[in-house]
Amino acid sequence: MSRSASSTATTAASSRIPMTDVTRLPGSAVHHWEWQSQAACRGLGSTRFFHPAGERGEDREERDAAAKRVCAACPVREACLEHALRTREPFGVWGGKTEEERRALPRPSRARRSAAAGPKGPGGPTGPDRSATPGRPR
């Protein structure tokens, strides 16, 4: 495929494919991404974890099963799954779950996510107590 035909095809395909909502990514601070350095999939390439366009049936089931075997022994599986859920990752196997399996999971409420993240400063996970702030309805 020629370079111009390839870039046209890529642009056309990418306009139809939902991408990860980058506004949900945790930021550039290293501590947000450190878990990835311990991942069992590190260095294995993406083909085992992301299906090619049009893959269906037994081929897809076998690829998903191979990815899940890697995830089953991964020390950071929970962090990986949490990342995929938080960013609403639309593709691939993350934390041992396919995109379909992740969509079927109940989404944690904002309060539960906040509480799971731990205290954030004065007043705990929800922040300072502002119930007595002047000019604010109670």
**pLDDT tens over the chain, length 138 residues:** 444 444 444 444 445 556 566 665 555 556 667 888 899 999 999 999 999 999 999 999 999 999 999 999 999 999 999 999 988 999 999 999 999 999 998 876 544 544 555 444 444 444 444 444 444 444
Angle at CA 23, nearest 5°, toward 17 and 29?
120
d(CA 55, CA 52): 6
Phi and psi of 4, rounded to 5°? -70, -40
Model-wide pTM > 0.95: no
Q: How far is CA 19 from the centre of its chain?
A: 11
Question: Among candidates 94, 86, 89, which has minimal Cα distance to 113?
Answer: 86
